Amino acid sequence: MLEFYKGKKVLVTGHTGFKGSWLCRILVNAGAEVTGYSLEAPTNPNLFAMCGIEDKINSVIGDIRDREHLMKVFDEVLPEIVIHLAAQPIVRDSYKNPVYTYETNVMGTVNICECVRLHSCVKSFLNVTTDKVYENKEWEWGYRENEPLDGYDPYSNSKSCSELVTHSYINSFYCDMDVAVSTARAGNVIGGGDFANDRIVPDCVRAAEKKQDIIVRNPHSTRPYQHVLEPLAIYLTIAKAQYEDKKYAGFYNVGPDDRDCITTGELVDIFCEKWGESLNWVNQYDGGPHEANFLKLDCSKIKKVFGWQPRWRVEDAIEKTVEWSKMYLSGKDVCECMDEQIEEFFYK
Please state, in angstroms and rounded to a whole number, the distance separating the CA atoms of residues 179 and 124: 6
Q: What's the rounded mean pLDDT across residues 169-188?
A: 96
What's the chain's average pLDDT?
94
Q: Is 105 helix (H, G, I), strand (E, B) or coil?
A: helix
Query: Which range, of 163-167, 169-173, 219-223, averages the lowest pLDDT?
Result: 219-223
The pLDDT > 70 percentage for the chain reads 97
Question: Residue 139 pLDDT more than 90?
Answer: no
Cβ contacts of 220 within 8 Å, gap of 6 or more: 263, 264, 265, 293
Beta strands in the chain, from DSSP E residues, in sequence order:
9-13, 33-38, 58-61, 81-84, 124-128, 180-186, 188-190, 214-216, 222-227, 251-254, 261-263, 281-283
Which one-letter amino acid corresponds to residue 260?
D
Please state, in angstroms and rounded to a whole number, the distance separating the CA atoms of residues 265 and 246: 42
Q: Where are the domains of the chain?
A: 8-188+225-258+295-313+334-347
pLDDT band at 257 (very low <50, low <70, confident <90, very high): confident
pLDDT band at 258 (very low <50, low <70, confident <90, very high): confident
pLDDT at 137: 82
DSSP assignment letter at 174 = G
What is the DSSP track for 217-285? S-TT-EEEEEETHHHHHHHHHHHHHHHH-GGG-SEEEE---GGGEEEHHHHHHHHHHHH-TT--EEE--
Nearest of 109, 79, 341, 89 to residue 233 by alpha carbon: 341
Nearest of 61, 16, 9, 59 to residue 30 by alpha carbon: 9
CA dihedral 95, 98, 104, 109 (to 10 degrees): 100
CB 9 within 8 A of CB 79: yes
What pLDDT digit, counting tens, does each position of 16-57 carry? 999 999 999 999 999 999 999 999 998 899 999 999 999 999
Question: Residue 182 pLDDT more than 60?
Answer: yes
Which one-letter amino acid corresponds to residue 9?
K
pLDDT at 220: 86
Q: Is 52 helix (H, G, I), strand (E, B) or coil?
A: coil
| 8-188+225-258+295-313+334-347: in CATH 3.40.640.10 | no
Query: Which range, of 35-44, 180-189, 287-296, averages the lowest pLDDT?
Result: 287-296
Bigger pLDDT: 89 or 72? Answer: 72
Question: Residue 294 pLDDT more than 80?
Answer: no
What pLDDT digit, counting tens, does each position of 89-133 carry? 888 899 999 999 999 999 999 999 999 999 999 999 999 999 999
Q: What's the rounded mean pLDDT across residues 288-308?
A: 82
Which one-letter amino acid corresponds to residue 203?
D
Give phi and psi for 192, each to the nearest 5. -65, 135
pLDDT at 340: 97
Q: How far apart are the first and last CA of the chain?
A: 13
